[in-house]
Structure 1
């Protein structure tokens, strides 16, 4: 559904009126396309903290982001601040000193990425300073405006446990950029247009090489549930664009729509109720060579306040949104259908983080997905060589949200730092990033694709 307010604020009368009334002034987002594959402007690389040496391997990783890397620029398209060397409260002054002069000059739709490390349980000064970066990033994301976004990426720390950060003399305070390439490529590109105020924590896992950057999923089979329409169809489309052979799964009741979507993408349709007892067996049969990517996108809502909610509404939502995900994931991992190096991506929701009036069943199911990801991620990587992550969409422009009453819909659109709704492709691009072969270091993460929604922020 068209966002008429966004269009109006782009006109001269709209800009005048909204400025006078103090109303939100959303900026059109620059999303990825063949015509706009990169941000505009160079990448400004800055450093904060006592350790002025770059994180090991960072220069090479930044060079691979596709933007010219510079030490100073009048109008950068992106800024990467290496703050891994910030280990004291006083060191936070370097963060201010580095970004204060440049935030106003950032090009519209620009990116700010702050690099930090995991707060140390053995050094409370380092822990305080690194945790402070999270509050800084979330606040800057809410004030930067003009369609720009701000993220914090915590790099893996190779310091020896028990040794205070102040005693370390390794580059970047002990952090390494190994495994960060796919994350920085995603965040420093138009693909992350509707992601802001996020904290992404990387592991020290060694990334798999990408043979063809234009088709990074070539040779992999990806199965997407709930793929007939909306977000699921967008995910299937982006994975196919990236070279995957896609199996599009949805309930038999939408077979015709599923088959049209599959035909458009050159995908294989699989009409199947994901809650069926033999769902995992039928998925395995549809992918005899195994799965490289499994995307759990199917979901339903049966909204009603708890006092008025019959058991059937509760059970059906939990069964589709959570129990079927747990059951099929367990069975496919046990059977080896998901190959080593595979990726599991589930769909949570900001409702599972912040809760939502009249959605106790839905919020419970989506919060359960978050628990699944955080628990299974490390074990699946160790036992099966598979990563497990989730996207948590906010207000996304779909047929479902188009049916929401006008004032509630407008509130949902504006209550985020970008003051607009996202598109299904925004969620799909995040899923595709998780699915990348070189995203091995991204595991157990829940990424909000919500424009930094004020709900649960």
Structure 2
């Protein structure tokens, strides 16, 4: 779906008019292209610690132009600031103001990434206050970024250091165009599980993935992105979507499975299909979902029960089947299994007329958190992605004025694309995200609702 306002705002006349009238000025975002550099320009590292040294070392290994200082007329592509050793709020000042001094020298679609330790793991009040201070500063900075820029954080848990593969994976994702619609968010890295790919352009090479609800929209984008990244893909959708499903499967040289995921044996049927066609299953993406919106006062059992059945009960049932299967938990696998579920910002902040949908999507967040320990015991992960306003066939049906307001109600002043959700899912499904589990990561342009 076209966003004609954003297109106009990025013309010469559009920039002049939107500036003079004080209207939102959505920028053209830098999105991932396999042939494009990771970042275009210098990356400045702020902070004096072993972690900041390791950050610089990792990025130098990627061939980036890493600096500790920037000339007065130079423009930076990114700033990475390490706050991992702070023990009091008073210690924030020097490095925070150093970051602030670089903001006017950022290029369009720039990245600011803060690195700090988990506040909840600090018992000392001053230490926890300092760490929460970094979190609040990062969220607020994300609102101040301009020209398509984003600000996000990486949270190191326990005594984990920047040498963990999961840290490098998170850092690269947030620097890249893959995270174009992710802002004001935090990726927790809690273990040394995972592995960095030999080829960053095909991090899922040799993996087999299943994507439910793959016939259209976000599901189709997920299937295509996983295939681009090297995975073999099983595309799943209901029989009524068979023609679209076949088209997607053919485009990605995958296989199609027509299936009602609410069936009692849905998980077993997916496993059978995977075994017959590929002999393995590594990645499960629970994308299928429905809406049956109604104010709760007018809600009936059919609307409520159908949404719960599709959006959460089916996932719980299928996960039990997957976790019980040796196909999904192969002892010889070098990388553990991955599950990624679609939540929603409605499940975080709620939404008028969507009590059923919000309950189901909040349920997904709870399921992911509770299932994480089971996956980590298998060296695997389970995470969720919570999209905000995404340009799909469904949002195209929203009345014009409501749709325009929803598009601008985030720090990037525009709606996201299905590809933005797909890129985040592909990251969480990759070996490089092996240190992150139980996370719900919002892909919403820092939507102005919820946390």
State the TM-score bracket (shorter-chain normalisation).
over 0.9
Structure 2 unaligned blocks of 5 or more: 331-335
- TM-score scaled to structure 1, two decimals? 0.93
Q: 1:43 and 1:398, CA in 2 relative to 1: closer, same or farther beyond 3 A?
A: same
Say which is worse superposed, 5-14 or 178-187, in terms of deviation.
Answer: 5-14
C-alpha distance in 2, partners of 1:353/1:297?
Answer: 17
CA positional deviation for 1:124 = 1.3
Q: Following TM superposition, where does structure 1 have runs of at least 4 consecutive aligned residues deviating by more than 6 angstroms?
A: none
Asked if 1:205 is matched to 2:187, the reply is no
Asked if 1:271 is matched to 2:258, the reply is yes
**What is the aligned partner in structure 2 of residue 440 from structure 1?**
434
**What is the aligned partner in structure 2 of residue 350 from structure 1?**
345
Q: Alignment partner for residue 365 of structure 1, among 360, 363, 379? A: 360
What number of residue pairs does the alignment pair up?
438
C-alpha distance in 2, partners of 1:363/1:66?
Answer: 44
**What is the aligned partner in structure 1 of residue 59 from structure 2?**
62
**What is the aligned partner in structure 1 of residue 400 from structure 2?**
406
Q: Alignment partner for residue 181 of structure 1, among 162, 168, 172? A: 168
C-alpha distance in 1, partners of 2:424/2:436?
Answer: 12
C-alpha distance in 2, partners of 1:397/1:5?
Answer: 13
C-alpha distance in 2, partners of 1:275/1:65?
Answer: 44
CA positional deviation for 1:198 = 0.1
Asked if 1:291 is matched to 2:281, the reply is yes
- TM-score scaled to structure 2, two decimals? 0.94
Q: Alignment partner for residue 311 of structure 1, among 298, 301, 308? A: 301
C-alpha distance in 1, partners of 2:357/2:365?
Answer: 13
CA positional deviation for 1:177 = 3.7
**What is the aligned partner in structure 2 of residue 140 from structure 1?**
141
1:321-355 deviation per Cα after TM superposition (whole angstroms, max 9, x unaligned): 00000110111101233235111000000000000
C-alpha distance in 2, partners of 1:192/1:269?
Answer: 29
**What is the aligned partner in structure 1 of residue 333 from structure 2?**
none
C-alpha distance in 1, partners of 2:37/2:285?
Answer: 25
CA positional deviation for 1:11 = 2.3
Q: Is the 8 A contact 2:191 2:436 kept in 1?
A: no
Find the residue that maps to 2:131 and give its secondary structure: helix
CA positional deviation for 1:43 = 1.1
1:71-118 deviation per Cα after TM superposition (whole angstroms, max 9, x unaligned): 123211011001112211110102322212101111110000000001
**What is the aligned partner in structure 1 of residue 36 from structure 2?**
36
Find the residue that maps to 2:434 and give its secondary structure: coil
1:34-53 deviation per Cα after TM superposition (whole angstroms, max 9, x unaligned): 34343221111111xxx644
CA positional deviation for 1:56 = 7.1
1:208-266 deviation per Cα after TM superposition (whole angstroms, max 9, x unaligned): 24233332211110000000010000000010001101000000110011001100110
Asked if 1:190 is matched to 2:180, the reply is no
Asked if 1:20 is matched to 2:20, the reply is yes
Q: Alignment partner for residue 317 of structure 2, among 327, 335, 340? A: 327
Q: 1:66 and 1:110, CA in 2 relative to 1: closer, same or farther beyond 3 A?
A: farther
Q: 1:439 and 1:22, CA in 2 relative to 1: closer, same or farther beyond 3 A?
A: same
1:263-318 deviation per Cα after TM superposition (whole angstroms, max 9, x unaligned): 01101001001111110111010111231110000000000001111101000000
Q: 1:206 and 1:98, CA in 2 relative to 1: closer, same or farther beyond 3 A?
A: same
